[in-house]
Amino acid sequence: MKLLHIDSSVLGPHSVSRQVSAAIVDRLRQATPSIDVVYRDLTQTPLAHLSGSHLAAAQGAPAPAELGPDLAASAAVLNEFLAADVVVIGAPMYNFTIPSQLKAWIDRILVAGKTFQYGANGPQGLAGAKRVIVAISRGGYYGADMPTAAGEHLETYLRWVFGFIGITDPEFISADGIQVGPDHREKALAGALQAATSLQAA
């Protein structure tokens, strides 16, 4: 079994999403000691954002030499994703949505003919056999019954993205209210870590 572990927080060891994603991976490692883990830190090795040249090359246009490293990075992250049976993602909320580093990674894995295709009935996801578990952290509270719900574009966005490529039941472990105050942060982190420890292994 292969596991791909992605982190996207810029806060290093102070990150809640990193702590929770690490706990999820530890839980899965304990359940399956032979699991093969590939780790990618999107802040330590950031991907460039898409450019016109990149999109043109994807459509078959000749690629300028300077684009070579970027195309190689695209192929590497796509192959990591395709090879994984389980994907664990640490995703903090920045200004109501995902970090731009994580968006750059998503832009490299949503590839027509690889993770989705268009047919007579519209788009069809091709990555449905994977398990995706996302550790999310949010500074406030964005429950469906709260006035702030309309500003939640982290979990809602990721559910849509993974559903589009066929992963219709991604799992989320949330730490909410971490910027409300120290007590809220401690309680949210403890609850998320407990959920990670109790995660179903298979």
Nearest C-alpha neighbor of 138 from the set 156, 164, 160: 156
Ligand-binding site membership of 9 (annotated): yes
137 is an annotated ligand-binding site residue: yes
DSSP assignment, residue 48?
P
Query: Which runs of E-coded beta strand occur in the chain?
Result: 2-7, 36-41, 86-92, 116-119, 122-125, 131-138, 171-176
According to the annotation, is 121 in a ligand binding site? no
Helix (H, G, I), strand (E, B) or coil at 119: strand
Q: Is residue 39 a known part of a binding site? A: no
88 carries a ligand binding annotation: no
Contact 188, 178 (CB under 8 A): yes
Residues in the chain: 202
Annotated binding residue at 166?
no
Q: 96 among the known binding-site residues?
A: yes
Asked if residue 51 belongs to a known ligand binding site, the reply is no
What's the CA gap between 38 and 80, in Å, rounded? 8
Closest C-alpha among 93, 88, 95 to residue 35: 88
Whether 140 has a binding-site annotation, put simply, is yes
Is 162 annotated for ligand binding? no
Pick out the residues of the known binding site.
Answer: 9, 15-17, 93-96, 137-140
Pick out the residues of the known binding site for FMN.
Answer: 9, 15-17, 93-96, 137-140
